[in-house]
Amino acid sequence: MSNLTIAQVESLTQEFSLIGDAIIENGKATLDIQERQGKALTTKPARVVFAQYMTDLFGNGEKVKVKRIMDCIDKVPTQQYIQKLSPETKLKKKIKFRTADKGLVDKGIATAKQVAMKGIYHEFHFPIGEVKVLTKEEAIQKKITDRKTTRDEFLAMTFTFHVEPTVAH
């Protein structure tokens, strides 16, 4: 498994298990746990072992533990440790571990081969784009589109508009 010895794989698996236990015991991923998790995943071989660990954990029915670990990995400090970035550096991508699906293939993040491997966790890199600030008109249009609001439904709505307070001179 990625040029690691059996002893190295067992050591990493034990560390991942201990980190997961610590998250469960604390009820949350503390900064110490995030640092430990992130540092354990700084190398590609370690991430391959971790993906297998998560596959096994989920397969054993430990879904709560899997979710808590995933929540920890998703946090910015953990990502900065995984990617060996300084705390001031803004993330350009997030490294996540999950099973593949067609949506990830459509986004160019996963392959059809990974999707065919049902129940197997893989490492994926999700780009983080600049957050676009919508104009008021764009924000309203997005809500209309997202909720599939028809023209008639929209015209039947009543609105209260924000009125700037007038200042007496």
Task: Indicate yes or no: pTM above 0.75.
Answer: no
Residue pLDDT, tens place only, 123-164: 999 998 766 677 888 888 888 888 888 889 888 888 888 777
Residue pLDDT, tens place only, 6-16: 999 999 999 99
How does DSSP assign the chain, residue by residue? -TT--HHHHHHHHHHHHHHHHHHHHHSS--HHHHHHHHHHTSSHHHHHHHHHHHHHHHHTT-HHHHHHHHHHHHSHHHHHHHTT--TTSPPSEEEEEE---HHHHHTTSS-HHHHHSTT--EEEEEE-PPPPPPPHHHHHHHHHHHTT--HHHHHH-------PPP---
Domain ranges of the chain: 6-127
